[in-house]
Amino acid sequence: MAAAGRVLVYGGRGALGSQCVQYFKSRNWWVASIDLAENEEASASVVVRATESFTEQAEQVTAEIGKLLGEEKVDAILCVAGGWAGGSAKAKSLYKNCDLMWKQSVWTSTISSHLATKHLKEGGLLTLTGAQAALSGTPGMVGYGMAKGAVHQLCQSLAGANSGLPSGSAAVAILPVTLDTPANRKSMPDADFSSWTSLEFIADFDEQYSGVLSRMSPSYSAYFGYLKLSVLLPRLFSQLRCSVGRTMG
């Protein structure tokens, strides 16, 4: 049976990435995972070598994805890699945490964006992972807010004309408040979990809008903004916001 579609999941071994891999595989998609460790459930895996050099890591991933895909194109690239670290500008861990957040969010988003210019189909979907908290100041988590703010800006740039993305493709940044992961439940045991964004919801969003966004009118090429999902999914109105950009290439 032919695959329903083809998708790259950057961060495919993490909590959200693993859910995305499982979700797309269950719907007969060909799925490639990109992460620091192999995801055995994926159709293929690219294992990222840990390094202190962004250019080394970017070149390694770009080369291995090129070998894996050859001339084949993918319908979607989902960058769901990331993490969290707190701390104000006074924190002893500031430098370490800023470095970690930049690597986990900005490195991965930048590499995913370049991969999209080479391997995404026309009318395809690129999803990056931002954060609603980074729409304003984050004094208690400086590194996290700075990195996620950079992801938001990257998405805006990708939505513009001549960004390098394939014609008719869409760049989307999901901005969850809190993801419902085991780690977050452990760190915030008294929180209202029902108000958090489920991993299944994001995986479903990515699959559904890899089709919906590719059929949107090209007149969206100049559009960028924050789209509340209450317009689309009323019962989930408080869970997620996303930035939607459309490009003509």
Residue 33 neighbours by CB distance under 10 Å: 27
Q: Could you tell me the sign of the dihedral formed by the alpha carbons of 232, 6, 70, 12, in that order?
A: positive
Instruction: Give which of 228, 174, 162, 170 is closest to 199, Cα–Cα.
Output: 174
Catalytic residue positions, numbered: 144
Which residue segments constitute the domains of the chain, with CATH numbers given? 6-246 (3.40.50.720)
* 114-157 per-position pLDDT tens digit: 999 999 999 898 989 988 888 889 999 999 999 999 999 999 89
pTM recorded for the entire structure:
0.79
161 vs 145, residue with greater confidence? 145
pLDDT tens figures, 54-95: 999 999 999 999 999 999 999 999 999 988 899 999 999 999
Distance, in Å, from the CA atom of 133 to the CA atom of 202, rounded to the nearest integer, reads 18
Answer positive or negative: Cα dihedral of 18, 202, 166, 131: negative
Diameter over CA atoms, the chain: 57
